[in-house]
Amino acid sequence: MVIASVVIAALAALLHVYIFWMESLAWDGPAARKTFGPASTAEVETTRPFAYNQGFYNLFLAIATIIGIVFVLVSTSEVGPALILVGTGSMFAAALVLFVSSPDKRSAAIKQGTLPLLAVIATIISLTV
């Protein structure tokens, strides 16, 4: 189950690095517009500072998760699973907030939150076995 935890957490981290890229570096690109919906140039410019900041939140959660994965792979310390749970748990919590607060973004919330939720479940199971 540790391998499943690490693999799923790594996929969640990669997804959040991609979200960081869209929000912070390519906000005016077609992928970000399709995913997040800023349609006009004015909307892109108005929301750019918010998206830039939010992208870094996603990056930092991915980094915490990746550091946790490294600890799991090279150590028996509980630091690794704790960091994986902090990173992926926060990713899932953010997706849950999006799901509840923005009905029109529920599809994105499910895509954003599924891998983190599975990583949390796998990590908890790996700690109990």
- All structural domains of the chain with their residue ranges: 1-127
pTM of the full predicted structure? 0.92
CB 126, CB 76: distance < 8 Å: no
**105 secondary structure, DSSP code:** G
Tokens, residue 54: 């939010």
Report how far residue 23's alpha carbon sits from residue 88's, in angstroms, rounded to the nearest whole number.
19
Q: What is the pLDDT of residue 35?
A: 84
Burial of 16 (0-12, 13-18, 19+ CB in 10 A): buried
Q: Sorting pLDDT into bands at 50, 70 and 90, what band is 36?
A: confident
Q: What is the pLDDT of residue 22?
A: 95
Q: Sorting pLDDT into bands at 50, 70 and 90, what band is 105?
A: confident
Q: Sorting pLDDT into bands at 50, 70 and 90, what band is 34?
A: confident
Q: What is the pLDDT of residue 16?
A: 97
pLDDT at 79 over 80: yes
- pLDDT average, residue stretch 87-111: 95
- Higher model confidence: residue 37 or residue 28? 28
